[in-house]
Amino acid sequence: MSNQPRHRSEPTALHQHAEDNLRFIRATMESSTSFTGVSGLGYVLAGLSALPAAWLASRQADAAGWLVIWMLELVLASGLALALTAWKAVKQGGSLMSPSGRKLFLAFLPAMAAGGLVTLSFFLSDHVALLPGIWLSLYGAAVITAGAWSVRIIPVMGALFMVFGALTLLTPVSGDLMLALGMSGLHITFGILIWRHHGG
């Protein structure tokens, strides 16, 4: 009689143990997979929005007006890309805040935060002419590190942004022109490739 409760609890314990193992395996697999929800359409629309921004910025009479245009473009382009990436992730049955999605954004943020700090510092010290090259370089670095958690083509785009940044910093080419070529041309080109090969 004293052994009977022990035998009855064994199947429950084994069943619970199996469920715990399955949960661990599922969580491990989910955290190790790439985030494929990056929206190619979002990149295309962000790239299209950069064209009028570059045109307007190049016609500003002072550094403050120029910077305001590009900061508004940053908000618009980021909003478009983020909203469409969230929509694509849900369509795929996932979430923007999945383990791989969180890793992607956490990898993306440090270089972008550094860019914000450098932007404020250079604006206050009246060195805005250097900002286009710095933006392209830091954005490229952010894309490369974040791309380690996404589809393989993303780090390639980041590397090209860094090349554009180097050209902007080391040659007399127009910063607004290079921002247009980078933020518009590269985003549209790679957005189409992602849209075509990875959906959405």
Same structural domain, 114 and 186: yes
The reply to whether 1 and 93 lie within a common domain is no
Domain that holds residue 149: 35-198
**Alpha-carbon dihedral 158, 137, 115, 153, rounded to 10 degrees:** 0
Q: Are residues 159 and 112 in the same domain?
A: yes
pLDDT higher than threshold 50 for residue 27: no
Q: For the CA atoms of 60, 65, 70, 75, what is the dihedral angle to 10 degrees? A: -140
Q: Given a cut of 90, is residue 28 above it in pLDDT?
A: no
Examine the domain organization and report whether 78 and 27 are in the same domain: no
Q: Report the alpha-carbon distance of residue 148 to residue 158 in Å, rounded.
A: 11
Average pLDDT taken over every residue of the chain:
85
Q: Do 48 and 21 sit in the same domain of this protein?
A: no
Assess whether 3 and 74 both reside in one domain: no
Tell me how many domains the chain contains: 2
151 and 130 part of one domain: yes
- Determine contact, residues 52/114, Cβ cutoff 8 Å: no
* pLDDT score at 90: 86
What is the share, in percent, of the chain residues with pLDDT greater than 90?
60
Residues 53-86 as b/e (b if ≥16 CB within 10 A, e otherwise) read: bbebbeeeeeeeebbebbeebbeebeebbeebbb
The residue type of 150 is: S
Read off the pLDDT band of 198 (50, 70, 90). confident
Same domain, 4 and 87: no
**Could you tell me if 17 and 102 lie in one domain?**
no
Whether 97 and 19 map to the same domain: the answer is no
72 and 18 in one domain? no
What confidence score (pLDDT) does residue 162 get? Answer: 98
* Same domain, yes or no: 69 and 95: yes
| Terminal-to-terminal C-alpha distance of the chain | 64
